[in-house]
């Protein structure tokens, strides 16, 4: 990291305005629909990997503001650091330097044990591959985060069943992943990500393995749930249709963030 590197401008996602709804391209969620979203601030975030005696700067002084309930997409060429940024925001990895503030709390200062509890409680993840446990049913897979958090089993079951019904899988509760279609598997993964009502939902190419029709249905579900549940939503994608429907579209270039159209 060079002291001569100019500061990176902050890409700010404004607080939603009360007279707009999410869903159409370039529109914002109603503030009244977003009571539970987290405000996430990223300040001068660097991620540097050492390889073969060389330092590889993957993220270079990222600054980013996500308002509560915001719906934001991140696009960019392969290898520019999109997934690395998502992993840092989700506390799956630690930055080389910089801060990530979650409603004012600096998560980069948390101990591993506290961070694991925080991640399970506050952040949901949906990846390109569903990562479902094949030996368990859809219902049992969605119950897992609650059981890990040591919540009462009945509460976990009730929450899991309710969210599976919401994503249209009321007839698949007791099916194992191998008995589900690709779209159904991804719906289970989304339900699992939402079962503890996270305040930040992160998606890393969530429809990358799906056909166009199924992917579009999953896109619609993401936008509906953002509006209904009010969580802050950040999606990394190569899908221009999905990216274009987000309230803000950000582009990563050479390890830095640019607001599209700015």
Whole-structure pTM value: 0.79
pLDDT in tens, 65-79: 999 999 999 988 888
Which residues contact residue 19 at a Cβ distance below 8 angstroms, ignoring those fewer than 6 apart?
none
Domain assignment present for 15: no
Residue 34 main-chain phi, psi, to 5 deg: -125, 55
Q: What is the pLDDT of residue 223?
A: 85
Q: What is the pLDDT of residue 117?
A: 87
Domain assignment present for 60: no
DSSP string for 43-110: EEEEEEEEETTEEEEEEEEEEEEE-TT-EEEEE--TTSSHHHHHHHHTTSS--SEEEEEETTEEGGGS
Look up tokens 């989304």; give the residue: 190
Domain assignment present for 204: yes
Measured between alpha carbons, how far is 215 from 183 in angstroms, rounded to an integer?
A: 7
Inter-CA distances, 4 with 1, 7, 131, 253, Å: 9, 9, 42, 19
Domain assignment present for 135: yes
Inter-CA distances, 126 with 146, 200, 260, 262, Å: 17, 11, 24, 28
Domain assignment present for 51: no
Answer whether 146's CB lies under 8 Å from 197's CB: no
Domain assignment present for 174: yes
pLDDT in tens, 29-72: 333 333 479 999 999 999 999 888 899 899 999 999 999 999 99
DSSP-assigned beta bridge partners for residue 156: none
Q: How many domains does the chain have?
A: 1
Local structure of residue 254 (DSSP, 8 states):
T
48-52, 219-223, 239-243 — which one is most confidently predicted on average?
48-52
CB atoms within 10 A of CB 131: 13
pLDDT in tens, 144-201: 999 998 999 999 999 999 999 988 899 999 999 999 998 899 889 999 999 988 999 9
Domain assignment present for 73: yes
> 205 pLDDT exceeds 60?
yes
pLDDT in tens, 227-239: 888 889 999 888 7
137: domain CATH number is: 3.40.50.300
Measured between alpha carbons, how far is 113 from 214 in angstroms, rounded to an integer?
A: 38
Helix (H, G, I), strand (E, B) or coil at 220: helix
pLDDT in tens, 82-108: 889 999 999 999 999 999 999 999 998
The residue range of the domain holding 212 is: 69-91+112-259
Inter-CA distances, 205 with 71, 128, 210, 237, Å: 15, 5, 10, 5
Domain assignment present for 240: yes
């Amino acid at each position: 990291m060079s002291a001569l590197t100019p500061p990176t401008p902050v890409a700010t996602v404004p607080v939603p305005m009360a007279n707009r709804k999410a869903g159409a391209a370039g529109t914002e969620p109603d503030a009244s629909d977003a009571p539970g979203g987290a405000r996430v601030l990223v300040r001068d975030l660097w991620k540097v990997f050492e390889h073969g005696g060389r330092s590889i700067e993957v993220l270079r002084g990222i600054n980013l503001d996500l308002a509560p309930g915001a719906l934001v997409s991140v696009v960019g060429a392969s290898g520019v650091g999109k997934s690395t940024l998502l992993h840092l925001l989700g506390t799956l990895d630690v930055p080389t330097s910089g801060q990530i503030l979650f409603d004012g709390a600096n998560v980069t200062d948390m101990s591993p044990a506290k961070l694991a509890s925080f991640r399970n409680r506050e952040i949901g993840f949906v990846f390109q591959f569903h990562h479902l446990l094949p030996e368990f049913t859809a219902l049992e897979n969605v119950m897992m985060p609650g059981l890990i958090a040591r919540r009462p089993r009945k509460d976990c079951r009730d929450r899991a069943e309710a969210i599976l019904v919401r994503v249209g899988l009321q007839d698949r509760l007791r099916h194992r992943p191998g008995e589900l279609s690709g779209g159904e598997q991804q719906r289970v993964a989304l339900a699992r990500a939402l079962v503890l009502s996270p305040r930040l939902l992160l998606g890393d190419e969530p429809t990358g393995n799906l056909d166009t029709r199924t992917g579009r249905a999953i896109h619609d579900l993401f936008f509906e749930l953002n509006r209904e549940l009010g969580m802050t939503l950040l999606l990394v994608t190569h899908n221009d249709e999905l990216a274009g429907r987000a309230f803000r579209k950000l582009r990563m270039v050479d390890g830095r963030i640019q607001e599209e159209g700015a």
